[in-house]
């Protein structure tokens, strides 16, 4: 509410921009993360070190969600007994870096497999593996470019632990990906996935872009993955049982409003398509309003959010 009322205060200053830009952008654009095309995802890339790091918040947002996910999964089926672990849509390796830095006991013989549709994400993960040549835990990580909806490299019933962090919830054909999860999971295996249910950096900060220019509104997590009930129903509808969904608080720390705004514009995958055709002064106008908004609304340097973490058999 605090964020909303602050936004209403800055809104009148934004009006002149709205009209010209709304008229100039008529292309159909994604309204949910799941509308983002495979082509856009396959060009998406970030390194964990690209995200804002605040000295007061030791873990970055993706790792905060992954840590809750890993502990919840471990409580259902300990990683100490894992025969093989698969991380679907692994990105730059958030899940494995969080797992290897955590207190969770891991079977030292379990292969750690990963896939992602973005070659650049996989290259970033390979760089991390190569930077740990003498660490047998990292040299056990094998990651390839592969579509989650057709995991031809993974044999059926082969994975004791199947994980997907902020991955399957973003895939348009999540049903096809979940069918693949059920195929590759070992009979007594466990599956866990996460989504982002609330994120001030998306709805409040990047939302300003859509308030200036309604046809350029930023997409967000599909509604079905934003509530505990919807998330659980989605897993059950796809044949999973013993479904449990929990909330995990997220905190995106930032050193300055300027830094967080620039970072969001740099790392979010849909920015190039959403801003196509915008003039430099229009973009700068949005960024200025975002910086003002962040400075006024979040003086403590933290943008709040909430992840949902689901586990199932």
Among the candidate windows 16-24, 125-133, 162-170, 304-312, which touches ligand SAM by CB under 6 A? 162-170
Q: Min. distance of Cβ 220 from ligand SAM in angstroms?
A: 12
DSSP state of 54: B
Helix H or strand E segment including 137: helix 136-139
166 binds ligand SAM (CB under 6 A): yes
Q: Is 147 in the site for ligand SAM (CB under 6 A)?
A: yes
| CB half-sphere exposure, 259, CA atoms < 13 A | 13
Binding mask 27-66 for ligand SAM (x = CB under 6 A): -----------x--x--x-----------------x---x
Q: Which is nearer to ligand SAM, 44 or 293 (CB)?
A: 44
Strand partners, 96: none
CA atoms of 27 and 31, how far apart (whole Å): 12
Per CB under 6 A, the list member of 149, 221, 222, 297 interacting with ligand SAM is 149
In the complex, what is the shortest distance from the CB of residue 33 to ligand SAM, in angstroms, rounded to a whole number? 8
Nearer to ligand SAM, 62 or 207 (CB): 62
Note whether 291 binds ligand SAM by CB under 6 A.
Answer: no
**Alpha-carbon gap, residue 68 to 63, rounded angstroms:** 9
In this structure, what DSSP letter does residue 230 have? H
Partners of residue 307 on adjacent β-strands: 196, 248
Minimum CB distance to ligand SAM smaller for 39 or for 241: 39
Choices 13-21, 73-81, 85-93, 133-141; region in contact with ligand SAM by CB under 6 A: 85-93
Does 219 participate in binding ligand SAM (rule CB under 6 A)? Answer: no
Nearest distance from C-beta of residue 181 to ligand SAM, angstroms: 12
Strand segments (E) across the chain: 85-88, 112-116, 141-145, 159-164, 185-199, 244-253, 302-312
15 or 31: CB nearest ligand SAM: 31
Name the one residue in this structure whose structure tokens are 């801003």: 275
Alpha carbon distance 312, 242 (integer Å): 5
Counting contacts by CB under 6 A, is residue 303 touching ligand SAM?
no
* Sheet of 112-116, strands arranged across: 141-145, 112-116, 85-88, 159-164, 185-199, 302-312, 244-253
Answer yes or no whether residue 174 interacts with ligand SAM by CB under 6 A: no
Look at residue 109 and give its three-state secondary structure.
Answer: coil
User: Taking CB positions, which residue lies at the least distance from ligand SAM?
Assistant: 91
Per-residue DSSP letter, 170: G
Q: Which residues bind ligand SAM (CB under 6 A)?
A: 38, 41, 44, 62, 66, 89-91, 94, 116-118, 121, 147-149, 165-167, 170-171
């Amino acid at each position: 509410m605090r964020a909303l009322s602050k936004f209403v205060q800055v809104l009148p200053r934004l009006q002149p921009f709205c009209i010209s830009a709304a008229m100039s952008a008529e292309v159909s654009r994604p309204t949910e993360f799941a509308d983002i095309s495979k082509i856009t995802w396959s060009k998406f890339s970030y390194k964990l070190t690209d995200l804002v790091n605040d000295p007061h918040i030791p873990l970055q947002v993706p790792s905060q969600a992954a840590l809750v996910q890993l502990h919840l999964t471990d409580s259902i089926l300990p990683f100490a007994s894992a025969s093989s672990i698969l991380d679907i849509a692994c990105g730059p390796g958030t899940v494995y870096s969080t797992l290897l830095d955590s207190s969770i006991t891991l079977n030292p013989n379990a292969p750690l497999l990963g896939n992602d549709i973005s070659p650049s994400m996989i290259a970033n993960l390979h760089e991390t593996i190569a930077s740990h040549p003498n660490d047998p835990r990292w040299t056990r990580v094998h990651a390839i470019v592969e579509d989650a909806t057709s995991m031809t490299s993974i044999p059926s019933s082969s994975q004791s632990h199947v994980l997907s962090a902020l991955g399957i919830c973003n895939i348009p054909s999540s049903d096809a990906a979940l069918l693949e999860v059920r195929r590759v999971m070992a009979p007594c295996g466990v599956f866990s996935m996460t989504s982002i249910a609330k994120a001030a950096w998306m709805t409040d900060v990047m939302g300003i872009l859509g308030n200036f220019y309604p046809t350029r509104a930023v997409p967000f997590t599909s509604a079905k993955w934003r509530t505990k009930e919807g998330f659980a129903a989605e897993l059950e509808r796809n044949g999973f049982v013993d479904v449990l969904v929990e909330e995990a608080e997220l905190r995106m720390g930032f050193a300055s409003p300027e830094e967080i705004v620039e970072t969001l514009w740099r790392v979010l995958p849909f920015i190039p398509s959403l801003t196509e055709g915008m003039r430099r002064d229009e973009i700068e106008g949005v960024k200025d309003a975002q910086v003002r908004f962040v400075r006024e609304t979040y003086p403590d340097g933290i943008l709040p959010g909430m992840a949902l973490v689901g586990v199932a058999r």
